Amino acid sequence: MSCCAPGAELLRGETADEELLLASRLVDDGLRQTDLAVPGIHCGACVRTIESTLGKLDGVVNVRVNLSNKRVTICWRGAVPPPFLAVLKTSGYDAHVQDILADERNDPALNSLLRSLAVAGFGASNIMLLSVSIWSGAEPDTRDVFHLISALIALPVLAYSGQVFFQSAWVSLRHGRTNMDVPISIGVLLAFGLSLYETVHHGPHAYFDAAVSLLFFLLIGRTLDHVMRERARRAVYGLARLSPRGARMLRDDGSQLYLPLDEIEPGMTLLLAAGERVPVNARILKGRSEFDCALVSGESAPQSLNEGATLQAGLLNLTGSVTILATATAENSFLAEMMRMMEAAETGRSAYRRIADRVSRLYAPVVHLTSFLTFIGWMIVSGDAHRAITIAIAVLIITCPCALGLAVPMVHVVAARRLFEAGILMKDGSALERLAEVSRVVFDKTGTLTFGQPKLLDFSELGDGKLALAAAIAAHSRHPYSKALASATEELATVTFETVSEYPGAGVEARSHEAVYRLGRSDWATTGRQPDVEHGNEAVVLSMNGQRMATFRFDDRLRSSARETVAALNGMGLDVEILSGDSNQRVERVADELGLARSATARPADKVQHLTELRQRGHKVLMVGDGLNDAPALMTADVSMAPGSAADVGRNAADLVFLRDGLEAVPLAVHVARRANALVRQNLGMAIAYNAIAIPVATFGLVTPLIAALAMSISSVLVVSNSLRLRLPVHPRS
């Protein structure tokens, strides 16, 4: 996959700081993020070099390299960008700005690999035919002619097909380091050089077939690796294609202007025709239409939305034209957030990956030393330089650490794609390992186990503008009860609020002149009162200066999949409990309906304390929740999940985000994580076992360079194939 997307040439070479600053985006107070494409990334050694080199620059806070898409994400502070491109150029890597929205249908890297593979395959097949004749007992003169023809075929094949490995190895050595391509290149060149020497001196042995076949097998593995990574990444570019190139802005004078996507700002009024996709997060100002919301909810049936409805970027307008108000920029939209989470899936460093990285870092020098010692040993034992060099070449080839380098990241890439297909976005690859080890699952209730969209009961009996006043206060909160109140009436309150503050777990406070209005729990809104519960329905109290004005009661329903989810988790050996800020009666009723053995009622601080105690007792905790109240708990748990409908702070705090309405995503994610963990261990075991067997076999001279090339390639293919088993259908209860 080439990272050189169309239009990405903006920042090649010596780029002005102003242009690089424009290509960066603000992610926090003073913290900026720059995404660079570095096509020269080939292996774990490249990842470590880039991360350590850029990490030393002044102002750089964090550097992460994604091996799959050859992308570098840099977080930095300061008025002027650090010299990323110059430092990378000095280290031997050309870089430019990554354009995630570019058309990726054309893949120059894959085309180059396929051409190199075709040339190597043509050369290997023809040289192998000549070798068969030699092995069959050809006369010396005939053998010399066949060796010469083989050399004439092998030389251009190595020059063309081998440049994939030679260029990478040369750049690495020129900057004083090694990578996986170094032993490959040395092995190929030594095999060719020894064979050429034998041909010139009319020797009986030549290994042109081994040199060219090694390239052929290596290119098969590298092409397969490229294709598998590309398939896993197609989801990201599928999301990118859901975003339109721009939208029509409605000016104050009634005229229209088409704006590119990156020029749309919050507060702009946009026109959305039938058949167009929502460009950025927005709210409907005028009109009514049906929308395909499968991207967010997974629901295939169209949803009818009218004025006031919230739209996420990427939704498809099916029937009518609507006027919408942009509420976010393109880079801060829901669609862009999903793309960033998908790309971040492989970036995390799990314990297994850190082990594999450390082993790979030491592997190349160990391989070179082993090959050299093998040569010295066979020279001492046999005194035959030809045999010693041949065995040393076989050792160099058979011990290439390709399988070890693929063991962990390939599983993470496939797992990220498998979860995405189920509507689950993974923000960090290390979350897989933590999720696989959970022993207890803690659910929030409102918005998680229940639909979180309560309906207001008996509001027709409320008069005197109390409902309008409560709705005006509730409009400042995203709590489900507040949203239900805000949408219950179109009447506008005549009270003007000076300040409005939300207190997580309690309610909303609004001040107007001398009056203090509170909307929330009755024991907080009034003086000396306890929470009201009537017929199982939660009560929210509106008060003025501590005196009750009105009581609003709601009804909520369990999600249809809640029982099945709890049963599936119990069947996987996990303990499940509720940790909610709602009333004891309400929480106990839900616990009884779901058959949970335990439940707890807690404010935000209590949730954090409870999760901390569970972890101190040795539990690995998965927290599933949404909204402002759950953010501290989501960050405290070992691993966390939140629905796509959660508040922004909840989605940002969670390790995984599920987009579908049902809770089936929770046991599914746990099951995928457990399978991924098992496959990682199997891959590492296969890689270690392969080398434990291969090194002694090659050292004792029991394999030729050709057999060594075949064995090394097969080990890589086995690791990739084993990782792809994760794409098979999963059964969470198994």
Summarize the confidence of residues 603-616 as an average pLDDT.
Answer: 81
List the structure tokens of 150: 């083989």
For residue 345, what pLDDT is reported?
Answer: 45
- Return d(Cα 434, Cα 445) in angstroms, integer: 23
List the structure tokens of 471: 């709705």
Q: Where are any strands of DSSP class E within 487-564?
A: 499-503, 507-512, 515-520, 533-534, 537-544, 547-555
For residue 70, what pLDDT is reported?
Answer: 76
Pick from 159, 339, 153: which is nearest to 242 by CA?
A: 339
- 727 strand-pairing partners: none
Render pLDDT for 119-162 as a digit per residue (tens, 0 to 9): 988 998 888 888 877 777 778 888 888 889 999 999 999 999 98
Compute the mean pLDDT over every residue in the chain, rounded to the nearest whole number. 77
Measured N-to-C along each axis, helices 163-174 and 140-161 cross at an angle, to the nearest 10 degrees, of: 60
**Ramachandran angles phi, psi of 597, nearest 5°:** -75, -25
Render pLDDT for 647-698 as a digit per residue (tens, 0 to 9): 555 566 778 888 777 788 899 999 999 998 899 889 888 888 888 888 899 8
Q: Looking at the predicted structure, is the pLDDT value of residue 92 above 80?
A: yes
Share of the chain above pLDDT 70, in %: 76
Active site residue ranges: 444
Topology annotation, domain 8-97: Alpha-Beta Plaits (3.30.70)
- Return d(Cα 175, Cα 476) in angstroms, integer: 57
The burial of 338, by beta-carbon neighbours within 10 Å (0-12 exposed, 13-18 middle, 19 or more buried), is given as buried
Summarize the confidence of residues 319-344 as an average pLDDT.
Answer: 75
Residue 70, CA distances (Å) to 1, 33, 47, 66 in order: 8, 16, 9, 6
Contact assessment for residue 636 and residue 602, using Cβ atoms and an 8 Å cutoff: no
Q: Which residue has the tokens 């009514």?
A: 288
Q: Looking at the predicted structure, is the pLDDT value of residue 237 above 60?
A: no
* 390 contacts: CB under 8 Å, gap ≥ 6: 194, 205, 207, 704, 705
Q: Looking at the predicted structure, is the pLDDT value of residue 623 above 70?
A: yes
Lowest-confidence pick of 8-12, 132-136, 146-150, 236-240: 8-12
- Return d(Cα 304, Cα 728) in angstroms, integer: 36
Residues 141-150: contacts with CB under 8 Å, at least 24 apart: 143/204, 144/199, 144/202, 147/195, 147/198, 147/199, 147/206, 147/208, 148/199, 150/195, 150/199, 150/206, 150/208, 150/209
Summarize the confidence of residues 420-425 as an average pLDDT.
Answer: 82
Listing DSSP states for 249-265 in one string gives EEPTTS-EEEEEGGG--
**Three-state SS letters, 483-503:** HHHHCCCCCCCCCCCCEEEEE
- 356 strand-pairing partners: none
Render pLDDT for 337-389 as a digit per residue (tens, 0 to 9): 666 655 554 444 455 555 555 665 666 677 778 888 999 999 998 888 878 88
- Homologous superfamily of 425-451+558-673: HAD superfamily/HAD-like (3.40.50.1000)
Domain parsing of the chain, residue ranges: 8-97, 106-209, 246-342, 425-451+558-673, 455-555
Topology annotation, domain 246-342: 2.70.150
Highest-confidence range of 7-16, 19-28, 156-165, 348-357, by mean pLDDT?
A: 156-165
- Return d(Cα 379, Cα 392) in angstroms, integer: 11
- 248 strand-pairing partners: 258, 271
Q: Looking at the predicted structure, is the pLDDT value of residue 491 above 80?
A: no
Radius of gyration, CA atoms only, the chain:
31
- Residue 261: alpha-carbon gap to chain centroid: 24
Model confidence band, residue 529 (pLDDT cutoffs 50, 70, 90) = low
- Return d(Cα 123, Cα 155) in angstroms, integer: 10
Q: Where are any strands of DSSP class E within 251-311?
A: 256-260, 269-272, 282-286, 289-292, 303-305, 310-311
- Return d(Cα 330, Cα 244) in angstroms, integer: 10
Render pLDDT for 49-74 as a digit per residue (tens, 0 to 9): 888 888 888 889 888 887 666 778 88
Secondary structure class of 83 (helix, strand, coil): coil
Torsional sign, CA 325, 331, 333, 335:
positive
Q: Looking at the predicted structure, is the pLDDT value of residue 530 above 50?
A: no
Summarize the confidence of residues 234-258 as an average pLDDT.
Answer: 72
- Return d(Cα 719, Cα 76) in angstroms, integer: 36
- Return d(Cα 257, Cα 247) in angstroms, integer: 8
- Return d(Cα 597, Cα 654) in angstroms, integer: 26
For residue 348, what pLDDT is reported?
Answer: 47
- Return d(Cα 500, Cα 634) in angstroms, integer: 26
Give the residue ranges of DSSP H helices in 136-180.
140-161, 163-174
Listing DSSP states for 232-249 in one string gives HHHHHHHHHHTS-SEEEE
Q: Looking at the predicted structure, is the pLDDT value of residue 7 above 90?
A: no
Single-letter code of the amino acid located at 208: F
* 679 contacts: CB under 8 Å, gap ≥ 6: 411, 722, 723, 725, 726
- Homologous superfamily of 455-555: Calcium-transporting ATPase, cytoplasmic domain N (3.40.1110.10)
List the structure tokens of 454: 């309560």
- Return d(Cα 706, Cα 709) in angstroms, integer: 5
Summarize the confidence of residues 472-496 as an average pLDDT.
Answer: 76
Q: What angle do CA 302, 308, 313 make, to 5 degrees?
A: 55
Strands 639-643 and 621-624: parallel
For residue 668, what pLDDT is reported?
Answer: 92
- Return d(Cα 654, Cα 626) in angstroms, integer: 9
- Return d(Cα 53, Cα 85) in angstroms, integer: 12
Give the residue ranges of DSSP H helices in 604-702.
604-616, 631-636, 648-653, 665-699
Backbone torsion region of residue 335, taken as left when φ is above 0, otherwise alpha when ψ lies between -120 and 50, otherwise beta: alpha
DSSP designation for 277: B
For residue 236, what pLDDT is reported?
Answer: 54
The greatest distance separating any two alpha carbons of the chain, rounded to the nearest whole angstrom, comes to 111
Render pLDDT for 197-208 as a digit per residue (tens, 0 to 9): 888 888 777 778
List the structure tokens of 152: 């004439």
Secondary structure class of 557 (helix, strand, coil): coil
Strands 71-77 and 31-37: antiparallel
Pick from 384, 350, 414: which is nearest to 730 by CA?
A: 414
**358 or 315: which leads in pLDDT:** 315
Share of the chain above pLDDT 90, in %: 8
**703 or 100: which leads in pLDDT:** 703
Q: Looking at the predicted structure, is the pLDDT value of residue 325 above 90?
A: yes
Single-letter code of the amino acid located at 255: S
Give the H or E element holding residue 441: strand 440-443
Q: Looking at the predicted structure, is the pLDDT value of residue 170 above 50?
A: yes
Same fold, 8-97 and 425-451+558-673: no
